[in-house]
Structure 1
Amino acid sequence: MADSEKQKNMPGEGIRSLKTSKVFRTLNFELYVKPNLAIMTVGLIVFTGCIGYIAYMRQKYISNGYYSAIGDDGKEEFLKRKSKWN
């Protein structure tokens, strides 16, 4: 093999070092793009905020005496707890 044909692979290149078609690279661009720390940080903060909000709303319903029940039609409903002593 000549030096021009030989491809030098750097550590950490992964799939970027393989020969692939332009169609494959177009359809799977996320495999070839280097990670962007700023975008990942924003995404992580937004994702954590969404999970926190869901947990907050769930805790709010539980603390008000609601519980989740599956109705006859298969949908989840939040019902108020009723005392069996009344």
Structure 2
Amino acid sequence: MGKKETNASPGDGLRSLRSTMLFRAINYELYVKPNSVIMAMGIVAIAGCAGYILYMRSKYENMGYYSAVAVDGSETFKKKVSKWED
């Protein structure tokens, strides 16, 4: 069998090394060049989700609710009640 010579250039990374097709299929993201458009859409989506969660949490806290953890481990929002008011 003849060996295939590859000329590795700086910045090639793992693409310049010999590997099996199984390794390339399992570790697909190591051999694909980054796509800036998809990366930007993912960052916007994650930032939007985190912003929405923070917005909803601050909305409930401003309304006078707080997060309470029940005995079974579930988290619920309860209205703050003062023991001084009756």
Q: Do these two structures clear the TM 0.5 threshold for a shared fold by scoring above it?
A: yes
Percent sequence identity over aligned pairs:
51
Partner of 1:44: 43
Could you say what secondary structure the match of 2:40 adopts? helix
Q: TM-score, normalised by structure 2?
A: 0.89
Amino acid aligned to 1:71: A
Residue 68 of structure 2 corresponds to residue 82 of structure 1: no
Give deviations 1:11-38, integer Å, cap 9, x for gaps. Answer: 1111111111001101111110000011
Amino acid aligned to 2:10: P
Task: State the alpha-carbon separation in 1 of the partners of residues 34 and 4 from structure 2.
Answer: 29
Could you say what secondary structure the match of 1:69 adopts? strand
Over the aligned positions, Cα root-mean-square deviation in angstroms equals: 1.3
Misfit runs of 4+, over 3 Å? none
Unaligned stretches of 5+ residues in structure 2? none
What does residue range 1-86 of structure 1 map to in structure 2 within 5 Å? Answer: 5-86=4-85
Amino acid aligned to 1:41: A
Deviation at 1:59, TM superposition (A): 0.4
Task: State the alpha-carbon separation in 1 of the partners of residues 41 and 57 from structure 2.
Answer: 24
Q: How many residues align?
A: 83
Task: State the alpha-carbon separation in 1 of the partners of residues 4 and 42 from structure 2.
Answer: 40
Could you say what secondary structure the match of 2:34 adopts? coil
Unaligned stretches of 5+ residues in structure 1? none
Task: State the alpha-carbon separation in 2 of the partners of residues 40 and 5 from structure 1.
Answer: 34
Could you say what secondary structure the match of 1:42 adopts? helix
Task: State the alpha-carbon separation in 2 of the partners of residues 56 and 21 from structure 1.
Answer: 48
